[in-house]
Amino acid sequence: MCGIVGFTGSAQAAPILLDGLSKLEYRGYDSAGIAVRDGEKETEVVKAKGKLKVLKEMTNNGDAVKGDCGIGHTRWATHGEPSALNAHPHSSDDENVIAVHNGIIENYQELREKLTKSGYSFNSQTDTEVAVKLIDYYFKKYGLGPIDSIARAMIRIRGSYALAVMFKDFPGEIYTARKDSPMIIGIANGETYVASDVPAILKYTRNVYYIGNMEIARLVKGGVTFYNIDREEIEKPLTEIKWDAEAAEKGGYEHFMLKEIHEQPKVVRDTIHSVVKDGKIDFSEIGLSDDEMKKISQIYIVACGSAYHVGMAVQYVIEDFTSIPVRVELASEFRYRKMTLVKDSLVIIISQSGETADSLAALREAKDKGIKTLGIVNVVGSSIAREADSVFYTLAGPEISVATTKAYSTQLIAGYLLAMQFAVARGEMEEAKCEELLKELYTIPEKIEKILEDKERIQWYANKLAGAKDAFFIGRGIDYAIGLEGSLKMKEISYIHSEAYAAGELKHGPISLIEEGIPVIGVLTQQDLYEKTVSNMVEVKSRGASLMGLTTYGNYSMEDLADFTVYIPQTDAHFAGSLAVIPLQLLGYYVSVAKGYDVDKPRNLAKSVTVE
C-alpha cells in the first residue's frame, strides 16, 4: 500500500527518488519523505504530510537535497495519524540507522517496551520506528554489521514488512529485507535501484531481481548481494520486465483510468494470444496439463475486490462448460475458515499484483493442505506467481489507476480460457465447439472498441447521476456478477453509496430502499433471464426508480422501460460480461469526473493491499 524507492549511484538521488515516488502515488498515501546522503556527510531527511507535491516544493524538486544515495517513501497510515512526524524515513536516536518500511509489525508494542528499557526513546506513533531502533540495538550490541543486525531484527519481528535501510558507517549502501511485502531491485549503468513496485524504476531499468521472503540484500553502486536469514550469501536470477516504460505514462489521456479503459482491446487480445496457438488452447507454459484437469473434482476461486467479482463471473462459465462444482471465496474469509478442502481440488488465486496479502495467505493455506494451486496474476515474479503450482499470466501491463479496469478484463479472459480447456480436457466439450467459442472470443477486442466509440452518451448520462446519493445495480447470473463490479466502480471513485443485488432478491429486503428518483442500473445480457430481470426493473420503476438498462443490440423494447439505454454488441452469453463491464467502467469514471474527484487516487484506497 505504501511506496518505497531507493537509489545508489553516480547521479543525484533526490530527483530520482521523487520521480519514483510519483510513479507509486496510485498505491495510496497520506505523507511522504526522503533521506539522502552525500558521501561521508550527514544524511538529510525531509518529510511532509499530504501529497508529494508538498515534498517537491520543499526540496525544489529534489535539487536542494544533495547526495547520490537515498531512500524515499509514501506512507498510508496504519499506526499513528497522518503527519510529518509519523512520515517515513525514521531514524535511531543518533541517526545511526535510517529506514523506510511497508507493512505492519504486529508485536511492535512488545518490542517498543523492550527498547524503552534499553534506553531508546520514541518520537512517533509508528511501528516502523520500533523496527529501526531494533536494528540499531542489534547493530550496537553485537557489532557484526548491517546484515547481522537486520537478520536478528527479522527473527524478532512478527508481521509483514519491506525495509530499506541506511547505516551511518556504510555510506553509499542500502540494505533491504522483506517478509510478505513486495520489493524489487534493479541495476543499470553502474547504478542500483530498489522499489516496492515496478513502475517506480521502469524508466531506468527493466532488469530486476525479486528479493524473496525472509531474505536480505546489500545494494552498492551497480551491484547487489543477497543473503538468507542465516546470513549466507545466495544467488538470485535476473528477470527482464517486458512492460514498455511508456505504458506507465498517461499518454495524453486526462487520467490513467481512462487510458487503461481504452487499452482493454489490446490487452485482451494479447492475453488471448498468449495461450492460443494455431487456433488451439495451449497451457504448456502455465503448467496445468490435461491429465491434471481430468482429476480435478472441485474448484475454489479465491480473491479480493474486483478479482473476486471475476471469480463470480467465471464460476458460471466453468459450471456451464464442465461438471466441476465451483465455489468463490473472499480471500480474507477463506484463510480463516476451518473447512476441509475436497481432495483432488484446485484453488485458483486471482490477483493483479500477485502480492495481495489475504490472497497470498490463502494460497499458502491451500498448499499447506496439499491442494494444487493456480495463480492468475499480472506481475511476473510476484509472490503468488512464484509460490503457486501453476501460473496464468495476464498481459495487462502496468495498471496505475487504483480502480482496476484492464486487469479485470484480462482476468475474465483467463477464466474463460481455463473453463474451455477444462471442458475439452475432460471430454465435456467437443473440439469443434471450443474452436467456435475461440472464434467468438477473438471478436471481443473489436467489440470493446465499438462500445468505446459510444462513450460520449455514457458521459452525458453520468453527468445526470452526479448528484445521486445512492445507486443500485441488478442482474441475474453473469449479469449479477458484472453488476457487482459496476457497483464497486461507482462507489470507489465517485463516493456514491452503491449496492449490487441479484435481481431475484429484491423482494427479500432491498426493494424497501427504493424511493423516488433513485438510480437503478439493470444489466440484461443473458437472454434466457432477460424477461425475469425486466420484471424486476418494472417493480422498482413503479416505486419511483430512475432506470438505466444495459443490454445487447436487438432488445430494443428496453427503451420503452428505461430512462436511458446502453447497448453492447451481441456475443456468446458466456462472454457478455467482457462487453457489459465497459459501459459500467465508463459510467463510474465519468460520474467521478463530473464530481471533480481525483479519479486515479480515490480517498482511503490503495492499489495493492499488501497488509491485512
Q: What would the pLDDT profile of 272-304 be if each residue is shown by its tens digit?
A: 999 998 889 999 999 999 999 999 999 999 999
Dist CA 21 CA 34 (whole Å): 10
Give the strand order in the sheet containing 31-37: 44-49, 31-37, 69-75, 3-8, 191-195, 184-188, 207-210, 239-240
Q: Which residues pair with 6 in a beta bridge?
A: 71, 194
| CA 451 distance to own-chain centroid | 25
Domains of the chain, each with CATH number or no CATH: 3-241 (3.60.20.10), 250-442 (3.40.50.10490), 452-596 (3.40.50.10490)
pLDDT of residue 512: 79
pLDDT of residue 602: 78
Q: Which of 308, 389, 316 is nearest to 351 (CA)?
A: 308
Half-sphere exposure of 88 (CA within 13 A, CB side): 36
pLDDT of residue 489: 94
Burial (0-12, 13-18, 19+ Cβ within 10 Å), 579 = buried
Contact 178, 153 (CB under 8 A): no
Catalytic residue among 179, 447, 489, 607: 607
pLDDT of residue 22: 87
Dist CA 478 CA 316 (whole Å): 7
Q: pTM for the complete prediction? A: 0.76
pLDDT of residue 606: 54
pLDDT of residue 16: 95
Dist CA 331 CA 328 (whole Å): 9
User: What are the b/e assignments for 363-383, b being 16+ CB within 10 Å?
Assistant: bbbbeeeebbbbbbbbbbbbb
Q: Which residue has the cell 546489500?
A: 218
Dist CA 94 CA 119 (whole Å): 12
Residues 6+ apart with CB under 8 A from 531: none
Number of Cβ within 10 Å of residue 393's Cβ equals 22
Q: Is 2 a catalytic residue?
A: yes
Catalytic residue among 2, 69, 304, 434: 2
pLDDT of residue 9: 96
pLDDT of residue 80: 60
Burial (0-12, 13-18, 19+ Cβ within 10 Å), 386 = middle
The ranges of the chain with pLDDT < 70 are 1, 26-28, 76-80, 82, 243-251, 604-612
Q: Give pLDDT tens digits for 84-116.
A: 888 889 999 899 999 999 888 989 999 999 999
